[in-house]
Amino acid sequence: MKLKLSAKSIFIILIVLIITILTFNYINRNSQLNSQKIQDIDPSKEGKTVGVNIEQNQPNGEKIKIIADLMEENKEEKFIKLINPITEIIKKNNVTKITSNYGYIINNYSKFKLDNNVNIYNSKKQFALKTEQLSGMFDTGDMYTNSPVKIKIRNSKIQGSSLSLKNYGEYIKVVGKARLTID
């Protein structure tokens, strides 16, 4: 008995063979994907971000840039904790740099608090401020501290027991015992 294969039957066998191979590859690939473990997010690390870089351009041309080592956000209480934040406020090529060990954005993201080793520096205005804690409001630019403060403006040095700044530093009031030294 001779088996005769025509070109038509060879073509059909090849098509069936190709479809079978593709089906097995598809099933094998899906089983490999499903067998890989998907890691759940550790609840203790939820809301933490390492290496933060935030930039915001204001409508008035002002630019705010915040860099921090770590950011922790609590969405229920609506506050953000920043570790080692460095804030730069750029206004018409005039850069004000603010650093501290800890920064908090609180009260539904409308207020801020800087803690431990707070420094504000503006080279163009020759202004430097050092204190341990500084709190304020984002919308008005008002800031205050009840910690001792050291300010250097050009060749003058001011030391005081507390401080109040209004309108993003346009008005500075040193409260309590203050000492002025002019070099």
pLDDT at 96: 87
Q: Is 163 exposed, middle or buried (0-12, 13-18, 19+ CB in 10 A)?
A: buried
CA distances from residue 124 to 93, 97, 98, 128, 171 in whole angstroms, order as listed: 9, 11, 14, 11, 18
pLDDT of residue 119: 93
In tens, the pLDDT along 117-137 reads 999 998 888 889 999 999 988
- Which of 21-35, 99-113, 157-171 comes out lowest in average pLDDT? 21-35
Q: What is the pTM of this model?
A: 0.68
Between CA 157 and CA 85 the distance in angstroms is: 26
Q: Where are the domains of the chain?
A: 47-182
The yes/no answer on whether domain 47-182 falls in CATH 1.10.10.10 is no
| pLDDT on residue 148 | 92
pLDDT digits (tens, 9 = 90+) for 75-89: 888 888 999 999 888
Rounded-to-integer distance, Cα 113 and Cα 63, Å: 20
Which residue shows structure tokens 């001792």? 148
